[in-house]
A and B are shown apart, each in its own frame.
Chain A
Amino acid sequence: MPRTLAPPPVTAPELRQSWEAHLGDHVIQLEWSPDGAMLAAALIGGPVSIFGTDGRFLRELPGHSFGTLSISWSADSRLLASAGQDGCARIWDAATGAPLHELKGGAQWVEHVAFSPVKDYLLTGAGRFLKMWNGSGRHLRDFPDHPSTISGIAWQPRELFFATAAYGQLANYHAEKSEFGKAFAWKGSILVVAWSPDGNYLATGNQDASVHFWYRKSGKDLEMTGYPAKIRELAWDAESRFLATGGSPVVTIWDCGGKGPAGTRPIQLEGHERFLSAMAYQHKGKLIASGCQGGTVLVWNHRQPQRPLRGSQLGTAVTQIRWAPNDRMFAASTEAGLVRVFEKSEKE
């Protein structure tokens, strides 16, 4: 999309770039394989490219005609699932690029696909329909229709629970139990769901410019409001203590430890000139990488919130940021189709 504003300059020292690729179309999702050997980049127009960690182009999967909407790696890194606007989810052999299975999602757009990080289960969300499959393409289960289009699916990182979001509710399910978990009814439109790594908290970013926060076990909830725009960016730190949120040009971080964030002042990381569009904490380390509509990527240690440690300018709006499983590199993508991979320097 053409922009009439020049990308803002980055004042932080330049990040160390490992490699980059130009895919020429809006990158809608980036995912490292769990073994860290591959990076998949899905384009809005359909194709999914797979790169080696060193940047070597491995293969392109055709994805979905009319467009790909979501991708997910299986826990063993052998399979990549994709979902798109042709009413299907597909399972691909990541090593050969061969299409293995085609799954009918139940609606024109299959917007969500998510492999369990724990076991061989795959969820698809299409319109109000939620289905569970396995990596062999077998249909295992239909869940009850949602009250409105499913806007997010997120597996709890360590167990077989998962959460789904739709307008009016956040629901909890268990992959193997027939009774359904707790549904948190809440009159609002949820755009994104994020589990804390320890699985104790669920956070949602919402259309009405708020962040909602649930304790999974008790169902107790909290709401953080006052953002200038809807929230589509959420990131938990490795300790499940800090929740970083977007919805403005400032990375706003809530301390959910102790008594929780109620009544506290968030940590605010100021350095982006435009609204945030992507962010991710390291899996084990303390760093957070953030990207904005202006194409700037910054890396921070939120314990030193005064200034970013390093940065880079990607030219157009940043669409995704993902740390590699080993935390030593991260990938960022843009709406113009740039994928750039950065290395963390040793001292950080």
Chain B
Amino acid sequence: MSPTISPERIPVTVLTGYLGSGKTTLLNRILTENHGKRIAVIENEFGEVGVDNELIVNAEEEIFEMNNGCICCTVRGDLIRILGNLMKRRDRFDHIMIETTGLADPAPVAQTFFVDDEMKERMALDGIVTLVDTMHIWQHIDDSDEAKEQVAFADVILLNKIDLVPAPEVDKLEARIREMNPAARIYRTRDAAVDMDKILGLGGFNLDRALQVDPMFLEPEYPFEWGGVYELAAGTHEFVMQDGPDPMMSIAIMPVKTADYQGMEGAQMDAVLTFSSEEKPVEPGGAVKPGYDLHQLILRGDGEKRFRVAIPATGPYALFTEHHPDEFSAALHGSNQLAPIVSKEYKPDHEHDEEVSSVGFNVAGDLDQKKLNNWLRDLLMKKGPDIFRMKGVLSIAGESQRFVFQGVHMLFDGRPDREWGKEPRHNSFIFIGRNLDRAALTEGFMKCLVR
């Protein structure tokens, strides 16, 4: 059988939000504004769009579970039937908008465009737009799974009715939502007034924009708190530590290409991998060698402790420490105390009290495709129900094009994108879900990098 080459797929936008959040107002805008697009609207059963238009179809949300019981195969049967029919019509449309009811779980509607072969061939999920009633969301956000899921699934979040709420309250809400879903674009609106190009034609795969939102967010949480680059002469140096809060501390030292930030950043991933390997205990007076060993300095008892650092060749080296050296008044000494040329504090593991949260990475390097596939398959099999969304731009070893993908629960849709060209190869990856294990996800992802 030869593969089916699809004609251009029609983009689908899913509109979610609680009753009263402004979905109908937004739909009326979409249908009346002169944006030059022919849009078919699938309205929910309580929908009350006031525009007379033959491309508005009312649908009862019919959730079809499959016999295999897999929640990821759960789809909206009504959409398959209605859209299957609309797609056969000669008077084609440019875009499909699907309104869900207030309490809807966005997953089945999104999954419909991944699971059903007919839908998949002719349509593609462009984005999930969630309207938030800024005034009333606080009543739901803490105890409603639906409210959390609607925020977590969104590609675009409209904080609507901001005219009814003082600005500091909106700021507080935005921060809260940002914590749950940092990849979404957030706009503040009144009467759901928003430019159409902010909600339609997101491209689903156009992640560059989405992933640039908060660079700090995309930093992995490093297993070390501090790194510094030194210019070291060949010979023996000492790492000198005073009393501190912990009975041990892991460090790694490794050669870098240049004695600057680029040099340190180039070594970061190696350091992450090193910190995930087994520690080698070193007693005071013992020796630490540059390379990819993780040295666990033993700090029992009071008083200053010295560890020898044997440098085989003069050059720039990076030192990464589990805790900030200041906590131990620790420093590297040659003949005198040495200061790092550059240093960086890494984002500590911070506490996440949100049940719904996100984990993202933005790291240089190439991924081993086989390892990545195996890891993702395994991960999604075990954690699929808890992973709501997954998006990424990846650098696959041996491929000249960027690989972009997005997913909903266990399902994902990916494809090669433009050439990397001169752009530095890197991987941006984000998970949004419930009870995500940040450390495990980070470690699993890092292990897929080609060393």
Contacts and interface: CB of A to CB of B under 8 A. Distances in A.
Interface of A: 1-5, 8, 24-26, 28, 44-45, 65-67, 69, 108-109, 111, 127, 148-149, 151, 167, 187-189, 207-208, 210, 229-230, 249, 273-275, 293, 335
B420 interface: no
Contact of B85 (A67, A151, A167, A229): A67
A203 B117 CA distance: 22
Nearest to B1: A249
B231 interface: no
Interface stretch (B61-69, B258-266, B300-308, B379-387): B61-69
A109 B117 CA distance: 24
Contact of A148 (B2, B62, B87, B90): B62
Contacts of B87: 1
B118 interface: yes
B293 to A, nearest CB: 51
Given A108-B58, A151-B81, 7 more contacts: A4-B5, A5-B4, A44-B85, A67-B89, A148-B62, A148-B77, A273-B2
B338 interface: no
Contacts of B81: 111, 149, 151
A274 B1 contact: yes
B118 A230 contact: yes
A2 B10 CA distance: 13
B441 interface: no
B88 interface: yes
Interface of B: 1-2, 4-7, 54, 57-58, 60, 62, 64-68, 73, 75, 77-78, 80-82, 85, 87-91, 116-118, 122
A28 B81 CA distance: 13
Contact of A149 (B54, B73, B77, B88): B77
11 contacts: A1-B7, A4-B7, A5-B2, A5-B5, A149-B81, A167-B62, A189-B64, A189-B77, A230-B116, A273-B1, A274-B4
Contacts of B2: 5, 8, 273-274
B305 to A, nearest CB: 65
A89 to B, nearest CB: 16
Given A108-B58, A127-B60, A274-B1, A208 B68 contact: yes
Contact of A66 (B7, B54, B122): B54
A108 B57 contact: yes
A106 B2 CA distance: 43
Given A69-B85, A167-B64, A293 B90 contact: no
A3 B60 contact: no
Contacts of A5: 2, 4-5
Given A2-B7, A273-B1, A293-B4, A149 B91 contact: no
B62 A187 contact: no
Nearest to A2: B7
A167 B1 CA distance: 31
